[in-house]
Amino acid sequence: MRPWPGTPYPLGATYDGVGTNFAVFSEVAERVELCLFDDDGTETRYRLDEVDGFVHHGYLLNIGPGQRYGYRVHGPYDPARGLRCNPNKLLIDPYAKAVSHGVKWDESLFSYKFEQPEERNDDDSAGCVPYSLVVNPFFDWGNDRPPNRPYNETVVYEAHVKGMTVKHPDVPESLRGTYAGLAHPVVVDHLRDLGVTAVELLPVHQFVTDHGLAQKGLTNYWGYNTIGYFAPHDAYAAMPGEGGQVQEFKSMVKALHEAGIEVILDVVYNHTAEGNHLGPTLSMRGIDNEAYYRLVEGEPEYYMDYTGTGNSLNVRNPHTLQLIMDSLRYWVTEMHVDGFRFDLASALAREFYDVDRLSAFFDLVQQDPIVSQVKLIAEPWDVGPGGYQVGNFPPLWTEWNGQYRDTVRDFWRGEPATLGEFASRITGSSDLYQDDGRRPFASINFVTAHDGFTLRDLVSYNEKHNEANGEDSRDGADDNRSWNCGVEGETDDAEVLELRLRQQRNMLATMLLSQGVPMILHGDEFGRTQQGNNNVYCQDSELAWIDWDLAADNADLLRFTAGLTAFRAQHPVFRRRRFFQGRPVGKGDKLGDIAWFTPAGAKMTEQNWDDGFGKAVVVFLNGDAIPDLDQRGMKVTDESFLLAFNAHYEDIDATLPGDGYGRVWTVVADTATGEIEPAEREPILGGGEFTLPARSLIVLQRMES
C-alpha cells in the first residue's frame, strides 16, 4: 500500500471515515517515514514524499481509529549546531490526539548516547516511546452548551483528576482516579453543593514521569511534564481500548456542563518532557529541534531554561506558535473546555531575554475568534530574570494573584504593617489591574493551591516536611508565610485545634468575600492534609490524594464553606464588576460605595493605615451603590454590609459606625463560631458596641438604614 498525497493541513492524524491523513512539520528533515504498528508490535514504514511548506504528508485508505503510529525523521544530527535528527528513534506526533502508554525508560531514549554521528545506527526506541493513536473524532454531544459563567459569578475549584476520586468510597472502584470518576454523580453533587462553578484541572495533556523520578520509584503526580498537547492523559481513563480516553474526557465535560460547571485546563506550553541536552528524544527534539525549542545563542547544543525543567518552547517560531494555538482551539472546539490556566505564563512572553507583554503569542490570542472568548488565566511568573509579572498581563487575561495569597496569609498570622495592602487585596487589587482597563475579576484570589501547603497545613506547620520526596527537603518553597498556631504538626491540644479551625475559616471567609474570583484548593473545604509536605509533585499516594473520610470528620467546616459560597452568590456587593470609587457613585448616594473604619467606629486616617501594629479594620460595603447592570440592563442593588476583621490575639471592644451608615445591624457570618446566617442574633444599633473576638471575621448586615 502506497500513501496517496493527502493534504498538509490539518496537521496530525485526521480520520475522515474512510481513511486517515497524516501531516507533520519539519524544516530540517531530509525524509520522514510514517510508521504503523500492529497489535503484536510489527512495524510497517511508509515514506511521506509529499512536502508543502515543510509539512510532510500522506493519506492512507482503511486506516482508522485505534491505529498505532509514529514517525522516523531522517536528517542532520549535529548537536553542536542544534540539529538532532535520528531515524533510529521512534517519535510521537506533536499533534497526536491520543497516545497508547507512558514512556518505558531505556538508554536508547537519551541523546547523550550518540556523541558521534556514526553511533546513531544501532538504536531503536520503538516500544519505549508511546505510540501515537488515530482517534475517532465523532461524539454525540447532544445539547451540550458552554455554561458561559461570568467571571464575577465564578467560584473556581482547583482539582487533580486522580487525587480527587481515587479514595472516594462512593465512586465505583473501576472509575476511581479517572475522568469518569470525576463525572460520577456523587462527585458532581459535591461540587454543586459546595457552590463551585468551574473546576480547574491540573494537567491532563499527556505527560511523562521523568527518568530521575522513575529511578526513585516516584511519579510525576502533578503532570507538569507534557509530551502531547492534543492528547488527554491515558492513565486517567477507565474506558478499555486504546483511544478511549478521548471519548471519556468528552463525557466528563458533558456531565459537568449539565451541572452548570465549567472545565478549565491547567496547560503547560512553556516546556516539554524532553528536558535539557541530556534528556530523552521523544518527539519534537528529533523532528525539528531548533524550531521547537529555545537554544542558547552561540551554544545551540544547550537549551534556554526559563522554567527550571531543562528547556523552553521557542514561541518565536511560527510553527511552534501554530502548535500552541491549534492545540488551544482543539480543546475548545472538539473537547468543549471552557478555559485555560497557563503554567509559568511569563515564559510564553519571552521573545528575547526579557518578558514582553506584547509578544506574538498574546497578540495571536487577542485576535483569535475562538481562544479569545474562553477564560484565560495566567500564572504570571517564571524562573527567569524579570519573570514575576503579576498585574502586567494584557486586558483579556486574568491572573493568579500571588500578592493576594501572600498578603492574606501575612495578615491572619499577625504580621505587622499589612493593613493597607490587605485592604487593597480584598477589594480587587485595583493597584494591579485598574490602569490597563481590567476589572476586579482579573484577580484570581487564592490562599492555597496545589503548589504549597494545603489550608490545614498552612495553619499547622511553620516548616515544610518534604522528606518523602527524597531530596532532603531541599525542594519546595521556604517562604510559606504559615503559622502552626503554637505546635508543629499534628496535636491533641484542643485549644490549638480550635484556633487552627478558626484560622481556616478566616482565610476561606476572606477569600470568598473579597472582590475578584475565589479559587478553592480541592479538599480544603474539609481540612485535607499533606502532613506538612508543600511539594507533592511526585507523590502519587495517599499523601496527596483526598481523604474523603475528612468530609464527615470536618462536616462543620464543609458546611461553613458551602454557606459562604451560597452567601456570596446571593449578594452581588461581594462580586462587583467594577472597582470601588470611595465616593458617592449615584444620584442620592451620600455614603459612597465603600468606607473604612477603625474598630472604635472612627473613619480610618493615613496614620491608622501606616500603623505598623494595626491588625483590625472594619469596612462598609454599600449595596445601594453598585455601578453594575444585570443582563436585562437593570441596576444591580443589594443589602449593605460591614466586615469586621481582627487578626489580633485578643478580643477587641468595637463600635459600629453611626453617622447614617445604618440604624440596626445583625451578624450574618462569624468565623469565631463558624456560623453563617445564624437563626437568632441580637440586633446591634448603629454606634453601638460589640465584641470583635480574637482572630476572627464578623459580617454584619444592615437591617435598617
The tens digit of pLDDT for each residue in 665-693 reads 999 999 999 999 887 788 999 999 999 99
114: confidence class by pLDDT, cuts 50, 70, 90: very low
Evaluate whether residue 593 is within a structural domain.
yes
Q: Within this chain, do residues 130 and 213 fall inside the same structural domain, yes or no?
A: no
Evaluate whether residue 502 is within a structural domain.
no
- Least Cα distance to 21 among 52, 56, 53 occurs for 56
CA dihedral sign of residues 655, 659, 661, 662: positive
Q: Are strands 375-378 and 339-342 parallel, antiparallel or unpaired?
A: parallel
Task: Please give the share of the chain, as a percent, with pLDDT higher than 90.
Answer: 82
The grid coordinates of residue 196 equal: 463551585
User: pLDDT, tens digit, for every residue of 346-405?
Assistant: 888 775 545 555 578 888 999 999 999 999 999 987 777 777 888 888 889 999 999 999
Non-local CB neighbours of 543 within 8 Å, separated by 6+ positions: 468, 530, 531, 533, 536
Q: Within this chain, do residues 205 and 270 fall inside the same structural domain, yes or no?
A: yes
Q: Within this chain, do residues 433 and 290 fall inside the same structural domain, yes or no?
A: yes
Reply yes or no on whether the pLDDT at 588 is more than 90: no
What is the CA 280 to chain-centroid distance, rounded? 27
Q: Within this chain, do residues 210 and 85 fall inside the same structural domain, yes or no?
A: no
Evaluate whether residue 460 is within a structural domain.
no
User: pLDDT, tens digit, for every residue of 245-289?
Assistant: 999 999 999 999 999 999 999 999 999 999 999 999 999 999 999
Reply yes or no on whether the pLDDT at 119 is more than 70: no
102 contacts 128 by C-beta, under 8 angstroms:
no
- Least Cα distance to 700 among 443, 513, 473, 545 occurs for 513
User: pLDDT, tens digit, for every residue of 45-88?
Assistant: 999 999 999 999 999 999 999 999 999 999 999 999 999 999 99
Per-residue pLDDT averaged across 296-323, rounded? 94
- Helix (H), strand (E), coil (C) string for 279-338: CECCCHHHHHHHHHECEECCEEEEECCCCCCCCCECCCCHHHHHHHHHHHHHHHHCCCCC
Evaluate whether residue 534 is within a structural domain.
no
Q: Within this chain, do residues 103 and 181 fall inside the same structural domain, yes or no?
A: no
For residue 388, the model assigns a pLDDT of 82
Alpha-carbon dihedral 292, 306, 129, 19, rounded to 10 degrees: -40
Measure the CA–CA gap between 331 and 351, rounded to whole angstroms.
25
Reply yes or no on whether the pLDDT at 589 is more than 70: no
Evaluate whether residue 695 is within a structural domain.
yes
39 contacts 100 by C-beta, under 8 angstroms:
no
**Of 386, 417, 452, the domain-final residue:** 452
Using CB atoms within 10 A of its CB, is residue 549 exposed (0-12), middle (13-18) or buried (19+)? exposed
35 contacts 69 by C-beta, under 8 angstroms:
yes
**Of 452, 469, 501, the domain-final residue:** 452
Q: Within this chain, do residues 171 and 126 fall inside the same structural domain, yes or no?
A: no
Average pLDDT along the chain: 93
Measure the CA–CA gap between 510 and 412, rounded to whole angstroms.
10
Measure the CA–CA gap between 480 and 496, rounded to whole angstroms.
20
CA angle 220, 177, 448 (to 5 degrees): 65
User: pLDDT, tens digit, for every residue of 167-211?
Assistant: 999 999 999 999 999 999 999 999 999 999 999 999 999 999 999
For residue 610, the model assigns a pLDDT of 84
Evaluate whether residue 575 is within a structural domain.
no
3-state secondary structure of 539: coil
Measure the CA–CA gap between 527 and 511, rounded to whole angstroms.
16
User: pLDDT, tens digit, for every residue of 488-532?
Assistant: 999 999 999 999 999 999 999 999 999 999 999 999 999 999 999
Evaluate whether residue 408 is within a structural domain.
yes
Reply yes or no on whether the pLDDT at 481 is more than 50: yes
**Of 452, 474, 496, the domain-final residue:** 452
For residue 352, the model assigns a pLDDT of 52
Q: Within this chain, do residues 165 and 261 fall inside the same structural domain, yes or no?
A: yes
For residue 658, the model assigns a pLDDT of 87
Q: What is the pTM of this model?
A: 0.96
Q: Within this chain, do residues 165 and 129 fall inside the same structural domain, yes or no?
A: no
For residue 116, the model assigns a pLDDT of 43
User: pLDDT, tens digit, for every residue of 448-469?
Assistant: 999 999 999 999 999 999 999 9
User: pLDDT, tens digit, for every residue of 548-584?
Assistant: 999 999 999 999 999 999 999 999 999 999 999 987 7
For residue 12, the model assigns a pLDDT of 98
Q: Within this chain, do residues 26 and 126 fall inside the same structural domain, yes or no?
A: yes
Write the CATH number for 645.
2.60.40.1180
- Catalytic positions are 343, 379
682 contacts 703 by C-beta, under 8 angstroms:
no
Overall domain count for the chain: 3
Reply yes or no on whether the pLDDT at 121 is more than 80: no
Q: Within this chain, do residues 74 and 171 fall inside the same structural domain, yes or no?
A: no
Measure the CA–CA gap between 598 and 531, rounded to whole angstroms.
38
Write the CATH number for 42.
2.60.40.10
Measure the CA–CA gap between 31 and 681, rounded to whole angstroms.
79
Top-confidence residue, 120 or 412: 412
In single-letter form, the type of residue at position 430 comes to S
H helix or E strand, kind and range, residue 141 = none
For residue 31, the model assigns a pLDDT of 98
Measure the CA–CA gap between 529 and 547, rounded to whole angstroms.
9
Q: In this predicted structure, which of 135-139, 174-178, 470-474, 574-578 has the lowest mean pLDDT? A: 470-474
User: pLDDT, tens digit, for every residue of 417-432?
Assistant: 899 999 999 999 999 9
427-454 burial: b if 16+ Cβ within 10 Å, else e: bbbbebbbeeebbbbbbbbbbbbbbbbb
Q: Within this chain, do residues 593 and 671 fall inside the same structural domain, yes or no?
A: yes
Write the CATH number for 321.
3.20.20.80
List Cα–Cα distances, 166 to 122, 451, 544, 548, 680, in angstroms. Answer: 42, 20, 11, 10, 41
In single-letter form, the type of residue at position 577 comes to R
For residue 123, the model assigns a pLDDT of 67
Q: Domain range spanning residue 625?
A: 581-704
Evaluate whether residue 487 is within a structural domain.
no
Q: Within this chain, do residues 93 and 212 fall inside the same structural domain, yes or no?
A: no
